[in-house]
């Protein structure tokens, strides 16, 4: 049985892992804390970049740099230590070689490549226990786990609306519905995502830039515009060089006005691909997955969000609600092919926060 000290260390390891959200794809985020037998932390580390040292190796190095002897110590790690030689050596072996006596991990590694670390550790006589705070650790690694288990990126749909659910006024004006605090929070979501996706309507209405500001270490997300008819103009801000950009167009779109722009041609949606004459959401997600994207921040507008919901491709919803009323104007979510109350997409609220004057509600679809 894991101790309360080990559980505290696991919470710390989960927080350390989260520091690298958006920077490790296609790899997971992983954190590790090394405890001496009295429960004192000797070293800690996290995986910072794909191709860089794994969390366990970072933590061992930190302990050794601080002059600590880790023989007989316990490693607390958010993911089962890997068993393979990939871009770095196997962590299970590194822990054995270092003389670690006990390993407590949260989530088993489901990949064919890396699996088996726990068995290797146990066979070497290391006291090995899995499952500690597994739900919390899995939630922190939702992007990677979704991509490993479902072969597509994790999708977070974010919207801002008034309390009566409107994302713009009747005359089309929408700046700024929510407060500066909420907008800063959206930049954090962008920094944590591998790709930010908008539709061509949003592009025409707002000419958004979609790059991350005020997060110095952030890897810029891929900016993706879903633009069936290639209506984006060469001067659009989203095409500047602050971050990479991909324009997803229909199979027959004319893109001659976009020389040098990264363009992908996708089929129109079929019945289960998001409908409404837009591009096939699953084809888009397949293309992004193939490019190494593990998490998508879907930023609108309402029609594109409706296509994603209709395709069953939204894993988490974050709504920023401003205490204001409009009474007219477009809804935050367009037609999602639902039609009757019995088919409403039911959500479970996982978090409610106040950001300045606004409310931020996080929810996930309930399993149906």
CA angle centred on 292, ends 205 and 202, rounded to 5°: 5
| 151 neighbors 110 (Cβ within 8 angstroms) | no
Is residue 27 close enough to count as binding ligand AOF by CB under 6 A? yes
| Closest by CA position to 333, among listed 348, 323, 344 | 344
For residue 342, what are the contacts with CB-CB under 8 A and spacing of at least 6? none
Alpha-carbon distance of 62 to 44, in angstroms, equals: 6
Q: Does 54 bind ligand AOF (CB under 6 A)?
A: yes
Residues with a known catalytic role: 56
Residues 11 and 41 sit within 8 Å (Cβ to Cβ): no
Binds 282: which of Zn ion, ligand AOF, none (CB < 5-8 Å by kind): none
Helical segments of 85-199, H only: 91-97, 117-123, 134-140, 142-150, 180-192
Is 55 one of the binding residues for ligand AOF (CB under 6 A)? yes
Q: Which stretch binds ligand AOF (CB under 6 A): 26-34, 188-196, 197-205, 234-242?
A: 26-34
* Residue closer to ligand AOF (CB basis): 47 or 360: 47
Over the window 72 to 101, marking each residue x when it contacts Zn ion by CB under 5 A and - when it does not, the resulting string is ----------x--------x----------
Stretch in the footprint of ligand AOF (CB under 6 A) among 23-31, 93-101, 260-268, 351-359? 23-31
Which one among 9, 30, 107, 143 touches ligand AOF, defined by CB under 6 A? Answer: 30
How far is 35 from 76, CA to CA, in rounded Å?
Answer: 8
For 227, phi then psi, to 5°, come to -140, 80
Closest separation between CB of residue 118 and ligand AOF, Å? 12
Task: Look at residue 98 and give the partner it binds from Zn ion, ligand AOF, none, a contact being a CB closer than 5 to 8 Å depending on partner kind.
Answer: none
Decide which of Zn ion, ligand AOF, none touches 294; Cβ closer than 5 to 8 Å per partner kind: none
CB of 219 to ligand AOF, least distance (A): 14
Task: Please name the residues in contact with 360: beta carbons below 8 A apart, sequence gap of 6 or more.
Answer: 182, 185, 318, 319, 320, 321, 351, 352, 353, 354
> Of residues 4-63, which lie at the interface with Zn ion (CB under 5 A)?
54
Per CB under 6 A, 79 contacts ligand AOF: yes
């Amino acid at each position: 049985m894991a101790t309360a000290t080990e559980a505290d260390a696991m919470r710390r390891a989960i927080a350390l892992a989260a520091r690298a959200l958006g920077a490790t794809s296609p790899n997971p985020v992983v954190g590790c804390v090394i405890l001496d037998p009295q429960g004192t932390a000797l070293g800690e580390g996290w995986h910072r970049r794909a191709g860089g040292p794994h969390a366990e190796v970072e933590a061992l190095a930190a302990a050794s740099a601080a002059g600590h002897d880790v023989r007989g110590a316990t490693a607390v790690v958010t993911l089962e230590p890997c068993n393979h030689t990939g871009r770095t050596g196997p962590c299970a072996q590194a822990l054995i070689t270092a003389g670690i006596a006990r390993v407590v991990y949260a989530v088993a590694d489901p990949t064919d490549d890396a699996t088996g670390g726990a068995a290797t550790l146990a066979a070497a006589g290391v006291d090995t226990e899995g499952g500690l705070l597994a739900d919390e650790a899995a939630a922190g690694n939702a992007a990677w786990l979704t991509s490993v288990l479902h072969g597509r990126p994790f999708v977070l749909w974010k919207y801002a609306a008034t309390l009566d659910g409107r994302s713009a006024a009747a005359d089309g004006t929408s700046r700024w519905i929510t407060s500066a605090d909420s907008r800063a929070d959206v930049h954090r979501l962008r920094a944590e995502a591998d790709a930010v996706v908008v539709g061509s309507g949003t592009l025409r209405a707002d000419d958004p830039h979609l790059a991350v500001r005020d997060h110095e270490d952030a890897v810029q997300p891929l900016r993706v515009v879903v633009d069936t008819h290639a209506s984006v103009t060469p001067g659009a801000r989203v095409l500047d060089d602050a971050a990479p950009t991909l324009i997803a167009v229909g199979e027959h779109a004319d893109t001659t006005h976009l020389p040098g722009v990264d363009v992908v041609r996708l089929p129109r949606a079929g019945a289960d691909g998001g409908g409404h004459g837009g591009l096939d959401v699953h084809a888009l997600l397949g293309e992004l997955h193939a490019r190494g994207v593990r998490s998508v921040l879907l930023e609108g507008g309402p029609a594109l969000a409706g296509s994603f919901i209709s395709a069953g491709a939204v894993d988490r919803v974050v709504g920023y609600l401003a205490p204001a009323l409009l009474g007219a104007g477009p809804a935050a979510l367009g037609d999602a092919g639902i039609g009757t109350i019995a088919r409403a997409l039911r959500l479970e609220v996982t978090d409610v926060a106040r950001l300045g004057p606004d409310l931020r509600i996080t929810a996930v679809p309930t399993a149906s």
